[in-house]
Amino acid sequence: MNHRELAQAILEQVGGINNITQLVNCATRLRMNFKDESLVHLDQINKIPGVLGAVKKSGQYQIIIGTDVANVCNEIKAMGLNESPVNTGKKVGKIDALMDIFAAIFTPVIPAITAAGMIKAILVICVLLGMEKTSQIYVVLSFIADAGFYFLPIMLAVSSAKKLGCNPYLAAMVGGALLHPAFTQLVTAGEPVHIFGLPIKLINYGSSVIPIILAVWLMTYVERFADKVSPKAVKFFMKPTLTILIVVPIVLVVLGPLGSYIGTGIATITDFLNMHVSWLVPTLMGAFMPLLVLTGMHWSFLPVLMTSYTTYGYEAVMGPGSLVSNVCQGSAALCVSIKTKNKELKQLASSAGVTALMGITEPAMYGVTIKFKKILLSVMLGGGVGGFYAGLMGVVRYTSGTPGLLSIPIFIGENPMNVVHALIACAIGFVVTFAATWFYGFEEPTDSSEKTETKETEAGEKASMVKKIVISSPVNGKKVDISKVKDETFAKEILGKGIAVESVDGKIAAPFDGEVATIFRTKHVIGLKSTEGVELLIHIGIDTVELEGKFFTPHVQDGDTFKKGDLLLEFDKKAIEEAGYETIIPVIVTNTSNYLEVLASKEGDVEMGQELLTIL
């Protein structure tokens, strides 16, 4: 398929061009929002040749294409895309909504920041090779690179306005006012300045991040107000005039300084961590980056990264750890390709391993890592160890870019050893992950041609040789295969094997005799331990953690003992669904590795007390 054919195939499965309300792309993914999500068929998108995967995360649909993603995105836009904010009426969780906003605001400006950072890296290399900083070539390229950072408020103003639903050109004007040479001269002079009798805080807003986002947020309300009070006959000029005259003074007097203080606070915390515990954040990022990407939580760090770039010219929060983590993904996949006897997995893992080393981890993550719990743990171990070294050596990233061996130049800066230590950290992560994957091992998958034929036979043989534990259903409802749950953590069996149930009455009963291991703070998750040692996780709904315990009523506490059939928890199924959340209930054996097999019963209706899972 060429780029246009791939774009057309995707559009057929998302309800057409008119169903798209927003489309952006990052280094490897199309990120899309839709008017009617019922028209989107992820299962069919996953089958399109050229699509590496498709998921919904953080309130946004993500279609993984790879390095050709920009070409596919451009083809879709060329077909007549008219992006506009649409209120679908569906309630979205606060966390998902926030991640969606961050992604929409920062993703469009990343190419500019990347270009600026790469030019700076080139200049560093040129200086090392003998170029004078006073030469005209250096000076010109330097101010070109600086423009990407200095005028960041204007770029963020446009992307923020597009996401929040106000005029992007008026937003750009607000950003321009903060950077105007006349205002900059006032800041330099330091003389008191007032507007309408109110003092203006003299702050240099060049390269700032938070102030302009707050300004555009205010503008969304002011613009609606101006539209409402402006008579139709003069609305054309009165609406934008009122908007600017209200927004800019408030930003200069209140929101600008507030945003500056927030940015300074973020920079101070980042500086403190880099100075006193430089190893901590890269270690955590290196270890947990796969889980952050799976849940979409990595977007929450974008304001921190942008603030660090504009304040220090580099960041040490995500770059070092994510570089090592990506290399570890490649290491694990390559190890699997060498060790596995399964032809399909060998072919997938070999190609996915190479692309992961280059920074494109989706094929390795979705095709190999997540499918095997032990491999994921090996990747996290290698990422943590490599990240620890990177943090200990003070490795930093000078600009944005997909971390991988191809993008190593983003770690080139004035300290020539920075990139050397980055490569050493990668080597450490690679070796640790490869060794852990090799010796810790993984469950060898059965060839697809043999899978159907041998599954029942193997289960029967195991059942005759080992003790069988039957887990009863804690729910009245309908059984659903765990792979159909719209959460990769459960569908890919990352936490363990199990099954899901659609409840009909909102009641959770004890599936065996045992005790309550834990009830999560937000009451949507309950962990149980049977008298026979089975550890069971019952997770009510998808993303229901965002309800903060609302609509859930537990009848037991941590440490309570119970008998099979005792009522453990109730939830308001209707209210949760009206709030926009699914109420499917994954039931997971979290200590799956302690047993030979966990077998789920067939899909269909089930009542409390009936057989749900069989553990061998």
User: Which of 114, 119, 32 has the alpha carbon at shortest distance from 73?
Assistant: 32
Helix 417-440 to helix 319-339 angle (10° resolution) is 40
The answer to whether the beta carbons of residues 418 and 396 sit under 8 Å apart is yes
Work out whether the CA dihedral 513, 519, 524, 525 comes out positive or negative.
negative
Q: Which amino acid is at 345?
A: L
Q: Which helix (H) or strand (E) holds 604?
A: strand 604-606
Token pair for 555: 């009848």
Token pair for 312: 């220090």
Nearest-angstrom CA–CA distance, 123 and 116: 11
Residue linked to tokens 């080597």? 427
CA dihedral 237, 239, 244, 249 (to 10 degrees): 130
Nearest-angstrom CA–CA distance, 140 and 138: 6
The answer to whether the beta carbons of residues 208 and 263 sit under 8 Å apart is yes
Q: What is residue 21's DSSP assignment?
A: E
User: Which of 588, 615, 414, 406 has the alpha carbon at shortest distance from 501?
Assistant: 588
Nearest-angstrom CA–CA distance, 105 and 94: 16
Residue 90 has, within 13 A of its CA and on its CB side, a CA count of: 17
Q: Is 479 helix (H, G, I), strand (E, B) or coil?
A: strand
| Range 378-381 contact pairs with CB under 8 angstroms and sequence separation of 24 or more | 378/328, 378/332, 378/433, 378/436, 378/437, 378/440, 379/290, 379/325, 379/328, 379/329, 379/331, 379/332, 379/433, 380/287, 380/288, 380/290, 380/291, 381/287, 381/432, 381/433, 381/436
Catalytic residue list:
26
Q: What is residue 569's DSSP assignment?
A: E
Degrees to nearest 5, angle at CA 319 with 316 and 325 = 125
Q: Dihedrals φ, ψ of 610, to 5°?
A: -80, 160
Nearest-angstrom CA–CA distance, 432 and 564: 44
The answer to whether the beta carbons of residues 349 and 340 sit under 8 Å apart is yes
CA dihedral 8, 13, 17, 19 (to 10 degrees): -170
